[in-house]
Amino acid sequence: MALKATICKAVLQIADMDRNYYQDHLLTIARHPSETDERMMIRVLAFALHADETLSFGKGLSTDDEPDLWRKDLTGSIAAWIDVGQPDDKRIRKACGRAGQVYIYSYGGQASKLWWSHISETLDRTRNLTVRSVPQSASKALASLGDRAMELNCTIQDDQVWLANGRETVQIELGTVKSPPAAAY
């Protein structure tokens, strides 16, 4: 018998001063049986960083042709494809062909660096790919915020992120591994 996803609920209050975005979101997060609290909370972090009325969670680990999060425009085209972890280069190239922008949030310390060193060359020419790294200490601390019912506050300013649950606050300073080339004018 297959294990079912655990449903987690979150009230996420976002104050993103970098984008002038201030909104509350009620999130329902289906946590796959093999997903850790760390990975689930990185998905919540990615949601906060890209929050928008049209941003939604994909089907997750059990589906290869959907990202962890995505934003579609009114025509159904994928404006943003957001994945968490260390997807293979084939999946990333496919996402870059399907979406306007692709974002990867990697975590895992040395394993994340090793992952990127193996696939970076094949992704050099992608024009719409951004890869950000979450420091291992921050991702482990985020895992401690994970619960089935969460009330979270997220503040984003000057590319710094603070995620708090009322008892503890985690500060996250994302690293940029790859960003799209600057537009030439």
d(CA 89, CA 134): 19
Q: Please report the pLDDT score of residue 178 as a whole number.
A: 96
pLDDT for 167 equals 95
Which superfamily is assigned to 6-178 in CATH? Answer: Restriction endonuclease-like alpha-beta roll domain (3.10.640.10)
Q: What is the pLDDT of residue 50?
A: 97
Q: Which residues of the chain have pLDDT under 70?
A: 1-2, 60-64, 183-185
Could you read off the pLDDT of 41-53 as tens digits, one per residue? 999 999 999 999 9
Distance CA 42, CA 8 (A): 14
What is the pTM assigned to this prediction?
0.94
